[in-house]
């Protein structure tokens, strides 16, 4: 046995891709032309797999804020928040996030991964129980394992299965943390948050919701699915990322609970990593204001998402259960999925190819993420590229 034997399945996939001459993983973006177009691996394409939901990566105000911050505060902080890495702008962004969500306080993390992993690994500990939706993001799973808490999965988006597990833990609610997402990143389906919040209240547990793919796109103020569902008073912690709707990098947690400030000083993912660079913080602060002040971006995003979802469904593709800015077509055969991805690239459309074990099932996904910056013509071009796949192979 070798240390590297465990990587053999990955090697086999790489060999298959090399034989086919395609590079769906780590495809190189050689040049960005706009928030929705670029040159990827030699192809001029519409970017339909970037999670740039509100199209803010090229917003002039965000770009200028980043440029000014880099010029006046440098390219990086070179330290953690508890050392030399807390700048005035970090503290200002935390205040603005707390105000945006109507919460007592906020913590800013260097990445969204660190936010979800850090909070889930710190809130629970040995002797506690985490009830986790089975389709949760890898960062949440990693945090749960690091916590040392007992990990109990419940079936994806199944409130009845969650209740069954809560019943078995009756009397232990004060040591139970429920973790779910708002919109799930692979199929774009929504959690039954109202039902989950009701169970949380009934059994006296705590609730953490990851709004990575719903913050900025749902709710009257853009706060996310918690706001849209009307359960803000029932959620103990909301985590999310800056790398989707806010168009930068980083993550956050907001809460009404005063204990969040204690969690700050116990979270290794916060204590032992360098703080976000000034340019990132500056552009994120502007983007947060844009989410608040320009609700028309959310409307444009949902118009685009509905158009793409309805179009793919009408063509016969198997898409997720809900219309969402995440629109994924399921393809059972791996070689076919790889071939489809390659054909889309040659037809000028870049999407994400997702294969097991990253997918919720044993099938592959051709995953689009829609942007408010996409034009109607671009959405129709994407649909035309998919239609050409349908014409070339009816066995979807």
Per-residue model confidence as pLDDT tens digits over 302-359:
999 999 999 999 999 999 998 999 999 999 998 899 999 999 999 999 999 998 888 8
Same domain, 201 and 110: yes
- Residues 50, 66, single domain; the answer is no
Asked whether the beta carbons of 303 and 374 are under 8 A apart, the reply is no
Residue 359: predicted pLDDT: 86
Helices 138-147 and 112-123 sit at what angle, rounded to 10 degrees? 30
Task: Name the domain boundary from 293, 322, 351.
Answer: 293
| Residue 373: inside a domain | yes
At residue 177, the pLDDT reads 98
Where does a domain end: 238, 259, 293? 293
pLDDT tens-digit profile of 110-131?
999 999 999 999 999 999 999 9
Using the 3D structure, point to which of 240, 275, 293 is the last residue of a domain: 293
Query: Does some domain include residue 2?
Result: no
- Ordered DSSP codes for 73-85: H-S---SBTTTT-
What's the pLDDT at 25? Answer: 81
pLDDT of residue 264: 96
Q: Is residue 151 located within the same domain as residue 271?
A: yes
- DSSP secondary-structure letter at 254? E
Same domain, 370 and 223: no
Same structural domain, 188 and 329: no
Q: Is residue 1 part of a domain?
A: no
**DSSP sequence for 354-370:** E-TTSSSSSSEEEEEE-
**Where does residue 31 rank: exposed (0-12), middle (13-18), buried (19+ CB within 10 A)?**
exposed
User: Domain range spanning residue 338?
Assistant: 7-58+295-392
CATH number at residue 19: 3.90.1150.10
Give the other-Cβ count within 10 Å of 363's Cβ. 16
Write down the pTM of the prediction.
0.94
Q: CA-based Rg of the chain, rounded to a whole angstrom? A: 21
| 324: region left, alpha or beta (phi > 0 left; psi from -120 to 50 alpha) | beta
Residue 396 pLDDT = 45
Residue 395: per-residue pLDDT: 46
The parts of the chain modelled with pLDDT lower than 50 are 395-396
Q: Are 328 and 366 in contact (CB under 8 A)?
A: yes
Cβ atoms of 78 and 298 closer than 8 Å: no
Query: Is 206 part of a structural domain of the chain?
Result: yes
> Cα–Cα distance between 201 and 209 in angstroms, integer?
15
As for how many domains the chain has, the answer is 2
Pair (157, 168) in one structural domain: yes
| Separation CA 197–CA 229 (nearest Å) | 10
Residues 223 and 103 in one domain: yes
Q: Are residues 76 and 222 in the same domain?
A: yes
In a domain, residue 38? The reply is yes
The CATH code of the domain that includes 266 is 3.40.640.10
Residue 33 and residue 171 in one domain: no
Burial class (CB in 10 A: 0-12, 13-18, 19+), 146: middle
Q: Determine the pLDDT at residue 265.
A: 96
CB 60: neighbour CB atoms within 10 A? 8
């Amino acid at each position: 046995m070798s240390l590297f034997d465990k990587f053999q399945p990955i090697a086999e996939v790489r060999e298959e891709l090399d034989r086919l001459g395609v590079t769906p993983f780590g495809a190189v973006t050689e040049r960005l032309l706009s928030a929705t177009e670029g040159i990827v691996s030699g192809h001029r394409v519409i970017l339909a797999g970037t999670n740039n939901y509100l199209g803010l990566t090229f917003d002039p105000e965000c770009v200028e804020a980043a440029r000014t911050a880099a010029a006046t505060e440098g390219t990086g902080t070179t330290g953690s928040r508890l050392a030399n890495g807390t700048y005035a702008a970090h503290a200002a962004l935390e205040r603005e996030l707390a105000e945006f969500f109507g919460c007592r306080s906020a913590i800013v993390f260097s990445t969204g991964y660190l936010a979800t992993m850090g909070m889930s690994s710190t809130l629970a500990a040995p002797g506690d129980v985490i009830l986790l939706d089975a389709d949760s993001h890898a960062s949440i799973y990693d945090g749960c394992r690091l916590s040392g808490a007992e990990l109990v999965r419940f079936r994806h988006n199944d409130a009845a299965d969650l209740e069954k597990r809560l019943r078995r833990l009756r009397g232990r609610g004060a040591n139970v943390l429920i973790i779910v997402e708002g919109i799930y990143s692979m199929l774009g389906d929504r959690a039954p948050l109202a039902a989950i919040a009701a169970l949380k209240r009934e059994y006296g547990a705590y609730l953490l919701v990851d709004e990575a793919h719903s913050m900025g796109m749902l709710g009257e103020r853009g706060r996310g699915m918690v706001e849209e569902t009307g359960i803000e008073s029932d959620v103990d912690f909301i985590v999310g990322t800056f790398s989707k709707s806010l168009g930068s990098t980083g993550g956050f947690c907001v809460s009404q609970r005063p204990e969040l400030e204690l969690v700050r000083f116990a979270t290794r993912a916060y204590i032992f990593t360098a703080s976000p660079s000034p340019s990132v913080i500056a552009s994120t602060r502007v983007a947060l204001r844009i989410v608040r002040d320009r609700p028309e971006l959310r409307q444009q995003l949902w118009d685009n998402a509905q158009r793409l979802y309805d179009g793919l469904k009408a063509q016969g593709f198997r898409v997720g259960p809900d219309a969402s800015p995440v629109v994924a077509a399921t393809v059972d055969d791996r070689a076919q999925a790889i071939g489809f991805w390659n054909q889309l690239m040659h037809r000028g459309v870049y999407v994400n190819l997702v294969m097991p074990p990253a997918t919720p099932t044993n099938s592959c996904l051709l995953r689009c993420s829609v942007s408010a910056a996409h034009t109607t013509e671009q959405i129709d071009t994407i649909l035309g590229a998919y239609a050409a796949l349908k014409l070339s192979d009816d066995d979807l």
